[in-house]
Amino acid sequence: MSPLVAIILRDVRLAFRAGGGSFQAVAFFAVVCVLFALAAGPDLTLISRIAAPVLWTAALLATLISLDQVYRADREDGSLDVIIATSDELALTAAAKAAAHWLSTGVPLIAAAPLLAILMNLEADAYLPLMLSLAIGTPALSMIGTFAAALTVSLPRANLLIALIVSPLYIPVLIFGAGAAAAGAAGDPQYAANLKLLGAATLFAAVTAPLASAAALRSNLD
């Protein structure tokens, strides 16, 4: 088995265990959507209009709460220092970590989105644009978040610092993702443009985030 595949399988398995980040992320995703629905009141038209941006915002916030766990197991058992010191392709290892985070957090959020969209009174025509935008955009959230986790890996509890680091970096993904979902729901011709920009943001993160994560890990070792 490839070492990178082994890293992904191990991290996904840890994330789905009791106390892992997957259930917490989905639960937080649901809580945020419920709170928005309650705050909007009984106006179903208003809830339907804000559904796509709310679901995207909730998915982003739910992603944040599990980022501190990306390197936690490796840091606690001492294997992180060995990985950093011996890995010739540390950027690929960081990419594997981001992939594991997306599989254990992003995919469950995408799977839960249709159920929460019912709560938000999302129109039937808007489901496909929402799911497509989440599928394209959430990998960028994991890759950017993994960079922040690498930057703060030497700190025992860095949830707040990670949130401060990734918040400005998440803004373009949130704008294009929510914009694509909302435009697709409304039949706006800007839908395709927003989706392309979202895909470009994800590709840019896929190229730069693993390299930045590797550099951050090495600087923490030094």
The string of pLDDT tens digits covering residues 112-130 is 999 999 888 888 888 899 9
- On the question of pLDDT at 211 being above 90, the answer is yes
- On the question of pLDDT at 89 being above 70, the answer is yes
Burial label, 124 (beta-carbon count in 10 A; 0-12, 13-18, 19+) = exposed
- On the question of pLDDT at 18 being above 70, the answer is no
- Please count the CA atoms within 13 angstroms of the CA of 174 that sit on its side-chain side: 17
Give 19-41 pLDDT, tens digit per residue. 566 788 899 999 999 998 888 88
- On the question of pLDDT at 221 being above 70, the answer is no
| Between residues 166 and 158, the one the model is more confident about | 166
How far is Cα 59 from Cα 71, in angstroms, rounded to an integer?
21
What the block records as the tokens of 84 is 């950093």
pLDDT of residue 43: 80
Give 194-205 pLDDT, tens digit per residue. 999 999 999 999
pTM of the model: 0.89
Backbone phi and psi for residue 143, each to the nearest 5 degrees, phi listed first: -70, -45
Give 36-88 pLDDT, tens digit per residue. 888 888 888 888 888 888 999 999 999 988 888 888 777 777 777 777 777 77
Q: Where are the domains of the chain?
A: 3-221
* Averaged confidence pLDDT in the chain: 86
pLDDT of residue 222: 59
